[in-house]
Structure 1
Amino acid sequence: MPDWVTSGRAETPETVAFLSGAALAHLHLVVRRDDVPQGLLRQRLALRAAEACVMRAGRSERAGELRDAVGFLQPGDHPGPAGEVTLSWRRAVERPVSVKALHRALNGALPTLAPEQIAILLDAGQGGPVARTATVLETVLAENPCDEAAALILAEAVLVQALGWNHIVPLLAVGLKRGDLRKRGEDLRLACHRAVIASAAEVIPLAADLARRAARLNAVAPKLRAKGAGAALELFLNRDAVAPSAFTSLNSDRASRRFCDRLVELGVVRELTGRDTFRLYGL
């Protein structure tokens, strides 16, 4: 992204809006690139969004702890408040934006809005994408001031829908500061524009890094002779972190662990926890 987008001094509302538009135009190219593992990019941004929401709520969990909270869940397990926020963001980015998908994403510890309410919010607001987004964010927070994560997920959905993107790409949740969510009207719109600029500066290098990592992973695929290796590699391109137990195509837990260790040896996958047991792996 050109340096003038992020280094320029946005002193007027017009300048802020212009720079955020430039940032979104560049991001539009990134989310259309085939060499970027889009599913993985959204998952990484969802983790950042969850961490930002948890921090604003005054909780101590950070990315590694949030990964642990959801990485080993079994049916019937409760991930805790921070884990629920993480699951909501993960579900929000998994499927194309729709009323049904958003209702599913918000159905947890976060208060659930009825599908009819979600549909109304998706069509609310006037003006450009960021202006519409700010309107929805303000509306939801005015009625539910403690439900920041739910409000941000809906706002992100409105933003990407206005941009013509299929999936939520979290931008506001990371870029907005704690005090920004208490703003209203023009002040909130300007904060959303600034959040887009700040987030774009992080998303674009992250996308480039993941594209390089995905290319290295695909390059070693012919060397992997394990049955089901192709399906296992696909998980790495779509998930932030994977436990060996998730590789059902590899027949056994032992085979899955050996497969992950082999990828680490080849330098195309990282072990993310630093532990000897209960490990998680990712690009």
Structure 2
Amino acid sequence: MAGGALYPLDQIVRTEPEWLGVWRQRLALKCAMAAVRLAGRIEDETALRDAWLLRRPGDDPGPSGQILSAWKRLASRSTALDVKSLEAVADLLGIRWDDALASLPDTFDDLRLGGAAAPLAAAGVIARTVSVRADAEMLGWWLADLLLADKLRWPVPVPLMMSQRFSPAFRSEANRGRIRPGEEEFDRAVCLALVQAAAEASRLAADIARRAERLAVVTPKLRAKGAGDAIRLLLSEDAVSGTLQTARLSRFASRRLFERLQQLDAVRELSGRPTFRIYGL
């Protein structure tokens, strides 16, 4: 069932539409929101975007912004894994590194090369992570999407699993609370969660494809010299600051450009504010 649900996503990944980047990054934001909740924090979608986009270059985006950074990194990297790269991710997630976590790349390789189906391998790496360090569950969900992509031979992961951490799929049928990694029903719950995640990702892809098509229609009408820089970012990132500045686009020109794109119904303003605006498909 989970394997069949992943087929539409596989088609999207292999077709490589021009909006593939923004799709992955918006899914990364969705996963980050669930991860922030797991960490006991309260930042929502708007707060996470603000932490990432409104900081000055080089500034620390804060604990929740770092969590978002981990999922943004997942959505733009290969599936290769080693101790050094995993330690860097654990640091972003606020998880203390130790020798127990250093064993996870070997576990990842064992599951990657094993014969288990992709969803069951993903469930396995979550359970293994929690078994070695109960406070590292978030890292297990990050690894699950990395392993899923490797199993499906996707060159870059599609963030899916973490977004379902609090979904009904993990509610115990016996009304005993939530199903935890390693428990008897966990593998089945992961498969059900993956079906739901794939359906939501498919709907998001259809929405983004429609918006990208509209953007392509209006692009020839744009007169700003640096418009191409903004268009490329809109197609590759979840959101773009309304005061974007590039070598060919000033902050003033950028503001005018996004206002024009909004008038043409090619982008949405995502913050709901009259100042410090943020735009995206």
Shorter-chain TM-score above 0.5: yes
Contact 2:130–2:181 (Cα < 8 Å) also in 1: no
Q: Give me the TM-score of the superposition, normalised by structure 1.
A: 0.85
The alignment yields a C-alpha RMSD, in angstroms, of 2.3
Give, in whole Å, the separation in 2 of the partners of 1:99 and 1:245: 36
What is the aligned residue count?
265
Verify: 1:200 aligned to 2:203, yes or no: no
- Secondary structure, in 3 states, of the residue corresponding to 1:123? helix
| Equivalent residue number for residue 92 of structure 2 | 108
Verify: 1:43 aligned to 2:25, yes or no: yes
Task: State how 1:1-283 maps to structure 2 within 5 Å.
Answer: 19-35=1-17, 37-99=19-81, 104-111=88-95, 112=97, 117=103, 119-125=105-111, 126=114, 127-177=116-166, 182-283=180-281
Give, in whole Å, the separation in 2 of the partners of 1:103 and 1:75: 23
Contact 1:232–1:249 (Cα < 8 Å) also in 2: no
Partner AA of 1:172 in structure 2: M
Contact 1:241–1:280 (Cα < 8 Å) also in 2: yes
Shift of 1:137: 0.8
Query: 1:165/1:20 Cα in 2 relative to 1: closer, same or farther (>3 Å)?
Result: same
Query: 1:247/1:211 Cα in 2 relative to 1: closer, same or farther (>3 Å)?
Result: farther
- Secondary structure, in 3 states, of the residue corresponding to 1:66? helix
- Secondary structure, in 3 states, of the residue corresponding to 2:257? helix
Contact 1:175–1:194 (Cα < 8 Å) also in 2: no
Partner AA of 2:201 in structure 1: V
Shift of 1:135: 1.3
Structure 1 unpaired stretches of 5+: 1-18
Give, in whole Å, the separation in 1 of the partners of 2:257 and 2:207: 23
Contact 2:243–2:252 (Cα < 8 Å) also in 1: no
Shift of 1:64: 0.8
Query: 1:183/1:136 Cα in 2 relative to 1: closer, same or farther (>3 Å)?
Result: closer
Contact 1:71–1:243 (Cα < 8 Å) also in 2: yes
- Secondary structure, in 3 states, of the residue corresponding to 2:15? coil
Give, in whole Å, the separation in 2 of the partners of 1:113 and 1:269: 45
Shift of 1:196: 0.6
Partner AA of 1:197 in structure 2: V
Give, in whole Å, the separation in 1 of the partners of 2:67 and 2:244: 22
Query: 1:220/1:39 Cα in 2 relative to 1: closer, same or farther (>3 Å)?
Result: same
Give, in whole Å, the separation in 2 of the partners of 1:264 and 1:32: 31
Q: Give me the TM-score of the superposition, normalised by structure 2.
A: 0.86
Contact 1:39–1:238 (Cα < 8 Å) also in 2: yes
Spell out, residue by residue over 1:74-116, the C-alpha distance to the aligned partner (whole angstroms, 9 max, x if none). Answer: 2442222221111111111112222266555444253357896
Spell out, residue by residue over 1:130-160, the C-alpha distance to the aligned partner (whole angstroms, 9 max, x if none). Answer: 1211111111112222233222111110111
Spell out, residue by residue over 1:55-86, the C-alpha distance to the aligned partner (whole angstroms, 9 max, x if none). Answer: 23332211111111111222442222221111
- Secondary structure, in 3 states, of the residue corresponding to 1:31? helix
Query: 1:181/1:252 Cα in 2 relative to 1: closer, same or farther (>3 Å)?
Result: farther
Structure 2 unpaired stretches of 5+: 171-176
